[in-house]
Structure 1
Amino acid sequence: MKFIHRLGYYLGGFALGIIFLLFFLNGKDASCDYGPNARTVKNINSKPIEYSDKASEFITDHTLDSLTIKNLIKFGSVDFSKSKTKLDSCKVYHIDNIYKERDMELTIKNCDSIATLLEIKYKAV
């Protein structure tokens, strides 16, 4: 069999495979969260978020809403050097992000069924 025929069969099968995948994965919320940052953020966002008194006060003073907090968590980067990941029950994560051109730091206690925003603050300049 000539190379051009083999290439044709290969590309034909490859195209059918891509169409097959697009058909079955279309509309599904499939994602590839393999990195530790992505897995941690996805785990936190999959739970209801409660706010501590200190965090609620900051949110009220700076007129933030729950969607803004969700986006700060979703698009933030987890600082594992400041986080306490060796705890048995609830792990505490520090997430850094930028909001209105200022650096912010969120401290989140991540338990099995709920995540609690312990503290949210602007970083010192």
Structure 2
Amino acid sequence: MKFTQRLAYYLFGILIGCMFLVYFFGEKKTEFCYLPNCRVLKDLRSKPVVYSKEAEAIFKEGWVTNDDVRNTLNYGKVDFDKSNIKEEDGKLYVIKGRNEANETIYVEMVNYSDKVKLKSITKEVK
């Protein structure tokens, strides 16, 4: 059997295998979440959020909304240099995201075993 025939059989098998994987894993709505940033954000999204008094005051100012915080938890980037610090009974995480006005915001959240506390939200100073 020539090399081109073996390559064609191999590629055909790969194609059939990929079709099966897409069919089976498409039904389960699985996601690839093995990188540290993704794992932290997924863990924070999976728990109920409790707001601190400082965070509630910032929401009343109007430059940031609850949707901005949700979008930061979906698409933000965790600053690991400032994060993973023990605070109270949990760990502090600083997440960089954007608000509706496309300004850079930093969300500080404390991750407990059963809940997440939104500690504060700050704008990036230019």
What is the aligned partner in structure 1 of residue 114 from structure 2? 113
Question: Structure 1-normalised TM-score?
Answer: 0.86
Cα 1:36/1:55, change in 2 over 3 Å: same
Structure 2: which 5+ residue stretches go unaligned? none
What is the aligned partner in structure 1 of residue 17 from structure 2? 17
Please identify, of 80-89 and 102-111, the stretch whose mean Cα deviation from structure 2 is larger. 80-89
> 1:86 & 1:53 partners in 2: Cα distance?
20
Report the alpha carbon displacement of residue 86 of structure 1 after superposing the two structures with TM: 5.0
Question: What code does the residue aligned with 2:93 have?
Answer: Y
Percent of aligned pairs with the same amino acid: 31
What is the aligned partner in structure 1 of residue 2 from structure 2? 2
> 2:123 & 2:63 partners in 1: Cα distance?
14
Report the alpha carbon displacement of residue 53 of structure 1 after superposing the two structures with TM: 0.9
Report the alpha carbon displacement of residue 103 of structure 1 after superposing the two structures with TM: 2.1
> 1:61 & 1:87 partners in 2: Cα distance?
26
Question: What code does the residue aligned with 2:16 have?
Answer: L
Report the alpha carbon displacement of residue 87 of structure 1 after superposing the two structures with TM: 6.0
> 1:87 & 1:10 partners in 2: Cα distance?
54
User: In angstroms, what is the RMSD of aligned CA positions?
Assistant: 2.0
> Which of structure 1's runs of 4+ aligned residues deviate more than 4 A?
none
Report the alpha carbon displacement of residue 5 of structure 1 after superposing the two structures with TM: 2.3
> 2:72 & 2:11 partners in 1: Cα distance?
43
TM alignment of 1:81-100, pairs within 5 A: 81-85=81-85, 89-99=89-99, 100=101
> 2:9 & 2:119 partners in 1: Cα distance?
58
Report the alpha carbon displacement of residue 32 of structure 1 after superposing the two structures with TM: 1.6
What is the aligned partner in structure 2 of residue 72 from structure 1? 72
Question: Are 1:104 and 2:78 counterparts?
Answer: no
What is the aligned partner in structure 1 of residue 56 from structure 2? 56
SS in 2 for 1:116: strand
